Amino acid sequence: MPLARGCMSQRACVRVFEGRVPFPASLAQANGIDSYVDITTRVLALARHAIRRATKGIHTDSNLAPRAREPQFIGSASVLSLAMVADAQESLSGIERLNDDVLMIIIRFLYNQHRRDIKNLSLTCKRLRSICIPTVFEKANINCAALWDSDPPPAAWRYIKTMNFYGSFTTSMGFDAANLRYILPHLVALRKIRFESIDQGVGWYDLLFMAAAPNVHALEIEEPSSTQEDDFSLPEDASSFSLPFTEIVYVVHEPSRYQGRMIIEPDPIARRCYMTPFILFMHQTLEILCLPAAMAPLPEMATLDWPRLRELKFYSQSYKDEVHMIANYNKDFARLCTKMPRIRNLDLCIYLFHEEPVSQITLWPPGLPLPETLVLESMEKVLLPYPDPDDTFYKHLPSTLRELHLVDRPRYYRWDGGLTRFTKPTLITATELLRILKQLPARCIFMEQLEVAFRADGQELALYDYIAAAFPNLRVLQLHRYRISGEMESDIELTLESIARDVSSLRSLRHFRAYLNIPSDDYKSQDTHEQKARYTEEEFKALHHHYAMIIAQHCSPALQIVEFLSAWFHGSHYWLRWH
């Protein structure tokens, strides 16, 4: 079964009509179209049919004899008007024929890389200006060193969604050095306040000042890795104020690992976020919280209730400290889980680059004095690197879970390729992964995305059988399979055929991704200068095309994309995609 199937979308047709892309041969075959002329003829036939339908329903009162021929006259006029409209449409350029919604999507997509061009485009005509302005004015950058020269113009106020403050104040007046106190109440679209490397950090009265915006709710703070600020100071009457922030994101720049061309040991980042007192103060109203893993105040957080928290993300920055935090405070983390009744998204975006003897992540150690029957009823997404098969956390996940990502982060092939500087994590086997998945409810019919990494063993085929049976409505499946010692490409192809047969029962599967760890694509460290494997680039692509066809021939018509990860054949990791 070909991967390309079904009819072309309206957007694809526009691209073909304008000559920007050739008509895909696979789609032409699927739609019975032989050439560009054929599809043009069909469109013209549809246009004539539309004109006939427009004129057919015109009728008059049968009691008025003198107007008996009026339908023919009106029908002819309608045909003439439609023809004139068609001629006018043909005289328009490709961009003018697009509707406003499509144009806005294109402009948003292009704006970050082509800001000057989009601003120039907004000066061409009234229609394009009205479409470009919401994107051009969406973000306002305010230089704290020149506040008097950074006020956004009144024409932009209704469109500003994010205000980004950067630099250092040059006077003791702070934000009152400009007109912001007057402007903020007029920014009805403003949702996010962002502070970037503000000298002396962000204080209570800065946040109180920003709360004047009527609909602001997100606070993002970005600091350099060398930040060493005093703890956030709360006033004595802080409890009498109601701040609107329901989302807090604290970002620390990655410590530098290079000195010139030399790789150096990165400086560790601070173990405490100076905003911690404010974060804990907001525990009753916070809905989204994102922190560096090394700075997460888990012991303090575990003592408080977080009744509205929906998303919790701990991301990796330092190569030493974040694993120490998880390993030493996993009991606190388990208690924290019981304090978040509405948690939906748990994302431990941690890279296990470290020098401590921690090889797996355990969230809920066995034997904790917590209710065995506790279920995290609202949980929808979990992302966890290098899971521990003895972790009891998975027993508490609900049957309504939608996404589960048990990943190798960083990719395990980097250690197989000779990385020896850091402690090698322990990758679970297919048997251990099967044991983890069996801790979940017997049939997770709401599961849409599953991503797993494992080393193959004797229970591998049983694992695929279980995935197909337990998660029947998967839409995205990603497998990172590390081969058994001694396996060759022919053995891996037989395994792939077994995978294809098992996933053929997934009638909703749209996207299949896999890393097969084939011997000719073994990862090599940057210091290795070995020649590439026995395949040429064309042969390597042909091999993976063959693999893609194996998946496509077995899977349902819902399948749209097949991807295979190449670890090193192209010089770095690279996804090969087939539609």
Please check whether residue 170 is in contact with residue 147, taking contact to mean a CB–CB distance below 8 angstroms.
no
User: In degrees to the nearest 10, what's the CA dihedral of 200, 202, 204, 207?
Assistant: 150
* The token pair that represents 522 in the structure block: 């073994």
Main-chain dihedrals φ then ψ at residue 385, nearest 5 degrees: -90, 145
Scored b (16 or more CB within 10 A) or e, 475-505 reads bbbbbbbbbbeebebeebeebbeebbbbbbe
Q: Could you tell me the two tokens for 104?
A: 């806005």
- Cα separation, 373 vs 421, in Å, equals 42
DSSP 223-292: E-TT--PPPPPPPTTGGG------EEEEEEPPPP-EETTEE-PPPPPPSS-TTHHHHHHTTTT--EEEEE
Q: Provide the pLDDT for residue 247.
A: 97
pLDDT at res. 364:
87
CA distance 192 to 84: 48
Strand positions, DSSP E, 113-206:
139-143, 162-166, 192-196
Which residue from 26, 27, 30, 29 is spatially nearest to 13, judged by alpha carbons? 27
**Residues 6 or more apart from 199 whose CB is under 8 A from it?**
167, 168, 169
Q: Would the CA dihedral through 56, 58, 63, 69 be positive or negative?
A: negative
Is beta strand 403-407 parallel, antiparallel or unpaired with respect to 258-259? unpaired
**pLDDT score, position 67:** 42
Instruction: State the Cα–Cα distance between residues 393 and 348, nearest whole angstrom.
Output: 14
Contact 318, 268 (CB under 8 A): yes
pLDDT of residue 268: 60
- Supply the pLDDT for residue 415: 72
Q: Which residues of 86-125 are buried (b: 16+ CB within 10 A; e: fewer)?
A: eeeeeeeeeeeebeeeebeeebeeebeeeeeebeebbeee
Task: Write phi, then psi, for 481 (nearest 5 degrees).
Answer: -105, 120
pLDDT at residue 176, rounded to an integer: 84
Of 370, 232, 342, which Cα lies nearest the Cα of 284? 342
Distances (CA, A) of 566 to 126, 477, 503, 513, 559: 48, 17, 22, 11, 21
DSSP state of 175: G
What's the gap between Cα 427 and its chain centre? 25
Query: Along the 579 residues of the chain, how does pLDDT read in single tens digits?
Result: 444 433 444 444 434 333 333 434 333 333 333 333 343 344 334 334 433 443 344 333 333 333 443 434 444 555 556 555 556 656 666 777 788 888 888 888 888 888 888 888 888 888 888 999 999 999 999 998 888 888 899 999 999 999 999 988 877 788 888 889 999 999 999 999 999 988 778 999 999 999 999 999 999 999 887 777 788 999 999 989 989 999 999 988 766 655 555 555 556 666 678 899 999 999 999 999 999 887 888 899 999 999 999 999 988 754 454 555 555 667 888 899 889 999 999 998 776 544 454 578 888 888 887 777 788 999 999 999 999 999 999 999 999 999 999 998 878 887 765 555 667 788 999 999 999 999 998 889 999 999 999 999 999 999 999 999 999 999 999 999 999 988 888 899 999 999 999 999 999 999 999 999 888 777 665 544 444 456 677 888 888 999 999 999 988 889 999 999 988 765 667 899 998
Helix, strand, coil shares, percent, the chain, to 5 = 40, 15, 45
Give me the pLDDT at residue 365, please.
84
The angle that helices 489-503 and 537-554 make with each other, rounded to 10 degrees, is 30
pLDDT at position 97: 79
The pLDDT of residue 293 is 83
> What is the longest distance spanned by two Cα atoms in the chain?
99
What pLDDT is stored for residue 157 in this prediction?
A: 95
pTM here is 0.77
